[in-house]
Structure 1
Amino acid sequence: METVVIQSWEELQEELFAFSWNEDLRRFRSRFAFRGLSDADYRLETTLIRLGGPYAELERHLLRNFKKYAHTKVVERDSLWHWLSVAQHYGLPTRVLDWTYSPFIAMHFATANIEKYDKDAVIWAVNYVKAHELLPDRLRNRLMLEGANVLTVELLSESINSLAELDALAADKVAIFFEPPSIDDRIVNQYAFCSVMSDPTMVLDDWLANHTGIARKIIIPAALKWEIRDKLDQGNVNERVLFPGLDGLSRWLKRHYSPRL
């Protein structure tokens, strides 16, 4: 797996937009999903894995009870993928991992926690098109028929309708990247993207380490965090925009007016 340590704001832009030229379209259209983490030592663990204990056995119980007590109007359709998306959005431990199409939003999440400014940050960039080349034929063929690079909850619902079917999807573990439904402005503003593993116990960075040429790690040294954070704020990439509402406004103001440690 390629790891790059950047040394400046300008170099960060170059690395995040690298490989975005699409010769077929003659346009700059990146095929990377981005995820920013405030500590470069953090792994790509799902909230389900971080729950601990017999989490793989508890997954179906968590989702079943969420569906039981959640209002029926919170999902557009009664499908596994709509429920997983909504559950993840509202904080239930799931096997879903949050990503974004936007490198700037990934930069935000890499620098939002000022208590981690003594630690290097990381932005993961995963080529979801290459990842999907490893999918079973039925999913790859569905993408080809649709003329798409990205799976949606509707497309996935046509092939996989339960956690058991997801677990049994392929003999080899696979990663699926998909677009969640636009539940609210937060998902839209964050240009949200998601991934799931066919095995709920598989940490995505372990899977990526076994499949070369799919992922890049872009390390942001701690010394650069303040500059990147201030420039993002000037560019209006902040909690007030990404978390619409008074809670996002309060988080932005708290960070914005915190003294430099």
Structure 2
Amino acid sequence: MQERRVTSWLELQDLLFAGSWNEPLGRFRTSFVFRGVPDATLDLTATLNRHGAFVRQERDLLRAFRKYARGVPGTERLTSIWDWLALAQHHGMPTRLLDWTFSPYVALHFMTERMDLLEQDGAVWCVDYHETNQQLPRPLREQLRLEGADVFTAEMLATVAGDLATFDGLGEQPFVLFFEPPSLDARIVNQFALFSVMNGPGLSLNEFLGHQHQGVRRLVVPAKLKWEIRDKLDQANITERVLFPGLDGLSRWLRRYYAPRPR
């Protein structure tokens, strides 16, 4: 893993979009996905295994969620365990998934949205899924090849592994893959969202990526630069009002936008 402490807005742009030229396509189409964190000391631990709290309850949590959520409008469209897992993560249940985005600016938003942490250094993780795909077990790599895809959908995952036990048994070594959830609502669409998942509820993505020699960058953003980034994102309309459509997002945006800067 490469780590870099940035010093300016322009340097940050160069690093976020580095390597985005795709020669076969003749387009600037990056194979990186991004995750922004407001505190650089935070790692990539999923809510399921944060402090080891829920690792043993993964199956119980998911079973109960499916049981009690049935009948809620929209759940009738869910057809696989991956759909249900994505929905649970989307609504805050502890899962092994982590939220990522195809958009570096959305990642910057989540790095700078919390006013109480703007005085802390933040970080953006950048991961090349072409590199992580090479370490996938053969059945998963074959599925990507057959579909001509770079990341999975829930439907593609269900074709290879209909449940988590089957998924975990696909490989003896830890691996990570990225999959796009179904368009459950406008929030997922507007955030250009996708999830990472590893082949075990107790595995650490932080540890896995830390041992990768290629395709992983961690950009540390000093607190003094976060204010400039936040103001420029607001000017570019990368705000809660867009990323969380509805009155809740509007209220979150207004509360942050009009809050005074601490002296």
In the superposition, the TM-score normalised over structure 2's length comes to 0.96
Alignment correspondent of 2:65: 66
**Partner residue of 1:29?**
29
Query: CA contact under 8 A between 1:51 and 1:93: conserved in structure 2?
Result: no
For residues 51 and 95 of structure 1, the distance between their equivalents in structure 2, rounded to whole angstroms, comes to 13
Q: Which residue of 2 aligns with 1:179?
A: 180
Q: Which amino acid aligns with 1:150?
A: V
Instruction: Tell me by how many angstroms 1:142 deviates.
Output: 1.1
5+ residue gaps, structure 2, are none
Preserved contact between residue 143 and residue 160 of structure 2 (Cα < 8 Å) = no
Alpha-carbon distance, 1:5 to partner: 1.0
DSSP 3-state at the match of 1:11: helix
Partners in 2 of 1:41 and 1:89 — Cα distance? 24
Deviation sequence 1:12-64 (CA, Å, 0-9, x none)? 111100010111111100000100000011000111112643x2210000000
Helix, strand or coil: the match of 2:100?
strand
Q: Partner residue of 2:229? A: 228
CA contact (8 A) 1:120 1:222 kept: yes
CA RMSD, aligned part only? Answer: 1.1
Q: Percent identity?
A: 51
1:168-207 map, 5 Å: 168-207=169-208
What is aligned with 2:250? Answer: 249
Q: Which residue of 1 aligns with 2:122?
A: 121
* Separation of aligned partners in 2, 1:77 and 1:193: 17
List structure 1 segments (4+ residues) > 2 angstroms apart after TM superposition. Answer: 50-53, 75-78
What SS is found at the alignment partner of 1:216? strand
Shift of 1:75: 5.1
Query: Does the 8 Å CA contact 2:52/2:202 hold for their aligned counterparts?
Result: no
TM-aligned CA distance change 1:240 to 1:250, over 3 Å? same
Q: Is the 8 A contact 1:75 1:86 kept in 2?
A: no
Structure 1 match to 2:212? 211
Tell me the TM-score normalised to structure 1 length: 0.97
Kindly provide the CA deviation profile for residues 64-89 of structure 1, in whole angstroms up to 9, marking residues without a partner as x: 00000002442523311100011111
* Aligned residues between the structures: 260
2:127 counterpart SS class? strand
Shift of 1:211: 2.2
Does structure 1 residue 159 correspond to structure 2 residue 160? yes
SS at 1:125's partner residue?
Answer: strand
SS at match of 1:158: helix
User: How many angstroms does 1:227 deviate by?
Assistant: 0.6
- State the partner residue of 2:43: 43
